[in-house]
Amino acid sequence: MNRQLRISVFSALLVTCMMPAMAEDVSQAASLKEAITEGKPTINFRFRYENVNQEGTLDTAEAFTLRSLLGWKTKPFHNVSVTAEVYGLSPLNDDYNDLKKSDPITSRRQYSAIADPEDYDFHQLYIEWTGLPDSSLKLGRQGMVLDNWRYIGDVRFRQNWQVFNGLSLLNKSLPNTEIALAHYEQVKQITTKIENANIEIANIKYRVTPTTSLVGYGYLIDWDGKAQQAKSNKTFGLRLDGSQKLDDHWKALYTAEYAKQDDYKDGDKKIDNNYYRVGVGSGYGDWFLRIDQEKLSGNSDNKAFQTPLGTNHLFQGWADVFLVTPNEGIKDTILIAGGKIMDATIKAEYHFINADRNFAKVGGGKGDQYGKEFDLGVYYKFTKHISGSVEYANFKEDDEYKNTASRKRDTEKFWITAVYAF
């Protein structure tokens, strides 16, 4: 079945499953001209300085980059609107390995990696139909984020965001319930490389209370091409996340999640892994403190739990040392704290990053400690349209990990970011 036919069949199934009568919204445009002229603009400029210093032979990398985005969303006309956003990532220097399409310029390989390659393209370009009650159906290039962005995210920390090409449905017609379904046929990654795949997404969120949600999900990824097919996998899981007010000042925080990942279609039959995240904490006013543990298992066949479509920058430390889970897996214990001081938001994390299974040392013996990482961010909104941040990450490799073939060296990163959004 070709790609166009698969999209048509998927669209028909979604519509068939959601047969309530269509209703015209009072905010609809009266004409096509009005739909265009009374649409809403999107304007966003983000300037960033990033510095990466790694132990070893690579030179320190520095990147000055400007991300410019301009877009327009038409007003709905007969429940149909169009969103078009173009963007450009303009490097102001070349003293970094930009990982362009995962194959950077040879002269830049002497530098540490900063995955912000030059690019000019459509960020989003999709048709949206809202003819079903409390529903939105999108066809085209689009971003998607779900839950805590662990499995499906747009990696918006980077200057090139991850986007998907295909069809998605968001439905909120059932009480306290959100249903997200999608079929994507391509993913454009932050390196600007476009990968072909059949990606099926199902995510159902039920709000147990206004501050606590229970989510069931399934993500199926069938990569195209011989080099990628072995990585095809399916993941099913359940997540409970929320908070409970204790009095006028205090609240309890909690998270419990489990997922199972196996091979899918032509995926390697040795893919057989599990995931969990548990966490507890407390909040007082604008401040919070919590402790979490996250495990992405590794198995005896040197296969580990992977999240190739997630915003992995948010996990295992901001230094991005473990964007891909090592064969031995990961067990990360995290202290997280945050709050506000004089309108500035502060967040700090400390990671104790270990392997799920012992790794073999080159010099003999075994170990399980990758290292530790400290992260700190300060975020401030100067005006309605202007905001900025300063962020710092420092990963320290454990001594017993230094004698392994897959070692991750000490890494220190620093960012200054300024944003204008309208």
Question: Tokens 């499953």 belong to which residue?
Answer: 17
Per the structure block, which two tokens stand in for 283? 């909040």
Residue found under tokens 């195209």: 224
Please give the structure tokens belonging to residue 104. 């950077």
**Domain extent at residue 406:** 3-25+33-421
Sorted by sequence, the CB contacts under 8 Å of residue 404 that are 6+ apart come out as: 359, 360, 361, 362, 367
C-alpha to C-alpha distance for 59 and 199, rounded to whole angstroms: 38
Q: If we measure between CA atoms, which residue out of 314, 309, 319, 406 comes closest to residue 112?
A: 319
Tell me the per-residue pLDDT of 180-203, one tens digit each, with 9 for 90 and over.
999 999 999 999 999 999 999 999
Task: Walk along the chain (422 residues) in steps of 10 and give the mean pLDDT of each run.
Answer: 42 40 61 93 97 94 98 96 97 92 76 95 97 95 97 97 98 97 97 96 97 98 91 97 95 98 95 97 97 96 95 97 95 98 96 93 84 98 96 95 89 98 94
Strand 177-188 relative to strand 163-171, pairing: antiparallel
Distance CA 132, CA 401 (A): 55
DSSP conformational letter for 227: H
Q: Is the dihedral of CA 182, 183, 184, 190 positive or negative?
A: positive
CB atoms within 10 A of CB 156: 16
Strands (E), 5-91: 40-54, 61-73, 80-91
Question: Using CA of residue 256, residue 143, residue 103, residue 222, what is the dihedral sign?
Answer: positive
Domain count, the chain: 1
Q: What is the pLDDT of residue 104?
A: 66
Contact 282, 290 (CB under 8 A): yes
Q: Report which residue type is found at 287.
A: W
CATH number of the CATH domain containing 215: 2.40.160.10
Q: Which residues pair with 67 in a beta bridge?
A: 46, 89
pLDDT at 3: 47
Sequence-distant (6+) residues with CB within 8 A of 355 are 298, 326, 328, 329, 330, 331, 367, 368, 369, 370
Query: Which residue do the tokens 């003819």 mark?
Result: 131
Q: What backbone phi and psi angles, to 5 degrees, belong to 394? A: -140, 110
Cβ atoms of 305 and 277 within 8 Å: the answer is: no
Asked if 345 and 337 touch (Cβ cutoff 8 Å), the reply is: no
